Chains A and B, each alone.
Chain A
Amino acid sequence: AQTVTQSQPEMSVQEAETVTLSCTYDTSESDYYLFWYKQPPSRQMILVIRQEAYKQQNATENRFSVNFQKAAKSFSLKISDSQLGDAAMYFCAYRSGGGGADGLTFGKGTHLIIQP
């Protein structure tokens, strides 16, 4: 079974600065997908960014980018120019590839605090 580990229960950053959230995973598969989800106090799960394991290029979505290190099984999220609205729980998630209906395996999350 796959596991996802987020080693930072809480992170704090000043508004407008950059923060990096860590995620490592364990799998024996070569085809898989990785995700970062944001969960604000409203508890709605919002997809931030996704990465296909077969793609070497790191995914980027506006101020959000990932550092995907496949050999090291590491998938960190970088948030640039942090904004107050970025404050939330962030979850790293894994899904097997192969076109099946597998669900997501989540880490325990990182609580991100934005200091004004």
Chain B
Amino acid sequence: NAGVTQTPKFRVLKTGQSMTLLCAQDMNHEYMYWYRQDPGMGLRLIHYSVGEGTTAKGEVPDGYNVSRLKKQNFLLGLESAAPSQTSVYFCASRGYRDRDHNEQFFGPGTRLTVL
């Protein structure tokens, strides 16, 4: 049981390049989330998904797109990367049936640098 995994772990991009971050979970969770963490800040929610084929905006969605074509995967895309998107990105998941426990399970993070 791998939990939540993220690919890649590190990436360096040039301004204007595009990339996709992949999040996968093997816990059959309904809810999935993408956060970013900047220095001196807590995590901030970018987008989230309540199920396959559905996504919604979080606190800081601009410049990002997401897709959830399969229940176990949640993709975060940057169409034209900007230096302001240099950050550590975390994926998380939570099960609907776990609502009484309310724990979000986090991936290990992806460190992205945009030059």
A-B contact pairs, 16 of them (CB 8 A): A43-B88, A43-B108, A44-B109, A45-B43, A50-B102, A52-B102, A91-B43, A101-B56, A103-B33, A103-B92, A104-B35, A106-B44, A107-B42, A108-B40, A108-B42, A109-B42
- Give the CA-CA distance A101 to B58 in the complex, in Å: 11
> Given A45-B90, A106-B43, A109-B40, 12 other A-B contacts at CB below 8 A?
A4-B42, A50-B103, A91-B43, A93-B42, A95-B102, A101-B30, A103-B33, A103-B92, A106-B44, A107-B42, A108-B42, A109-B41
Chain B residues within 8 Å of chain A by Cβ, number: 28
Of the candidates A4, A43, A101, A109, which one forms a contact with B109 in the assembled complex, judged by CB atoms under 8 Å apart?
A: A43
Chain A residues within 8 Å of chain B by Cβ, number: 22
A101 with B104: in contact, given A45-B90, A91-B42, A106-B42 (CB under 8 Å)?
Answer: no
